[in-house]
């Protein structure tokens, strides 16, 4: 059934004149007449009788009107549910303790009026996240595709922010007393990052990091979660791991874990934002402006070769609208 024909019928019935209905709908009176005639043929009934003043509902028209109103209300609700700007801004993050979630939470605390829905797709392959953005399941995703040439034409990836890495160790580790560390000081120490997923962006990040700085990054064993990892670090004299400076970790006070910044160069994990090129959610502009104002990592900085280029606030979204 042609919902625009139903809409024309409802407005003509409520206003009593085809011309007034046409004016309100932004079409010609002839278009409204054709729509209603088509609807009458489809229903095989007459919905109006013509009068000197306009139109009046027949008995069949009176019976159909409340159902027609429900049809139009349902269509309008459906459109509103998916129309950018009329629903919550949905953004995918890697985890609710990740730097992306922390940054979004900081922004929301300053702008509590924003209707924000933070979700975790729980997928390792960034191509799945790209497909979710393309399908409109989420408005944006904090993921990186290390080969941007593989992105669909209707999807873009922009630089979000860089997350400096820190070494996380227990009190018995030989580096536990350091205030800062250089990458060369990490050599020969076991850096345990369990459960690195194949084809994930972080797998490529750690591969290049280990190669460039001759680091011993161990991905052996399944990932049983942060709590288990923190327990192991607290008891170990030789195991360390890498965390982002904005990542949120909480452990018992008796663990006495230490987060040690890595400098000269700072090891920066590049975080990107994947979003649609055309008609992005209006709320994304304020988010990307906020990300563009975050402090860059201390220089000198190492970033992997596939990292997206840092940008000025809002410039990428401006480009999509030109």
Whole-Å CA distances, 37 to 19, 47, 191, 197? 15, 9, 74, 60
Which is more confident, 125 or 262? Answer: 262
Look at the pTM and tell me if it is higher than 0.95. Answer: no
pLDDT digits (tens, 9 = 90+) for 267-315: 999 999 999 998 888 889 999 999 999 999 999 999 999 888 776 544 5
Predicted confidence band of residue 203 (pLDDT cuts 50, 70, 90): very high
The average pLDDT across 242-264 equals 95
DSSP lists the bridge partners of residue 191 as 217, 240
pLDDT digits (tens, 9 = 90+) for 134-165: 888 899 999 999 998 899 999 999 999 999 99
pLDDT at 80: 66
Whole-Å CA distances, 177 to 23, 102, 120, 172, 217? 77, 27, 36, 9, 21
């Amino acid at each position: 059934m042609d919902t625009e024909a139903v809409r024309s019928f409802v407005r003509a019935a409520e206003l009593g004149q085809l011309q007034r209905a046409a004016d309100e709908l932004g079409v010609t009176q002839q278009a409204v007449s054709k729509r209603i005639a088509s609807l009458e043929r489809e229903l095989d009934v007459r919905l109006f009788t013509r009068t000197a003043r306009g139109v009046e509902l027949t008995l069949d028209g009176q019976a159909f009107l409340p159902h027609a109103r429900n049809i139009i209300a349902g269509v309008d609700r459906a459109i509103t549910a998916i129309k950018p700007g009329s629903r919550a801004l949905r953004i995918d993050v890697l985890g609710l303790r990740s730097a992306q979630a922390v940054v979004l939470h900081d922004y929301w605390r300053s702008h509590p009026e924003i209707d924000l829905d933070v979700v975790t797709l729980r997928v390792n392959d960034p191509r799945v996240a790209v497909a979710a953005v393309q399908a409109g399941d989420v408005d944006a995703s904090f993921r990186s595709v290390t080969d941007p040439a593989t992105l669909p034409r209707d999807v873009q990836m922009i630089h979000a922010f860089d997350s400096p890495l820190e070494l996380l160790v227990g009190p018995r580790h030989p580096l536990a007393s350091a205030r800062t560390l250089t990458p060369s000081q990490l050599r020969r120490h076991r850096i345990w990052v369990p459960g690195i997923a194949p084809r994930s962006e972080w797998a490529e990040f750690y591969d290049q990091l280990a190669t460039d700085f001759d680091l011993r990054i161990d991905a052996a064993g399944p990932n049983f979660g942060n709590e288990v990892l923190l327990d192991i670090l607290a008891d170990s004299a030789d195991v360390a791991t890498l965390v982002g400076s904005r990542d949120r970790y909480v452990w018992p006070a008796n663990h006495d874990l230490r987060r040690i910044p890595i400098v000269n160069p700072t090891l920066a994990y590049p975080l990107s934002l994947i979003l649609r090129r055309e008609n992005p959610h209006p709320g994304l502009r304020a988010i990307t402006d906020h990300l563009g104002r975050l402090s860059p990592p201390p220089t000198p900085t190492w970033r992997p070769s596939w990292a997206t280029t840092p940008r000025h606030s809002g410039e990428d979204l401006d480009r999509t609208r030109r």
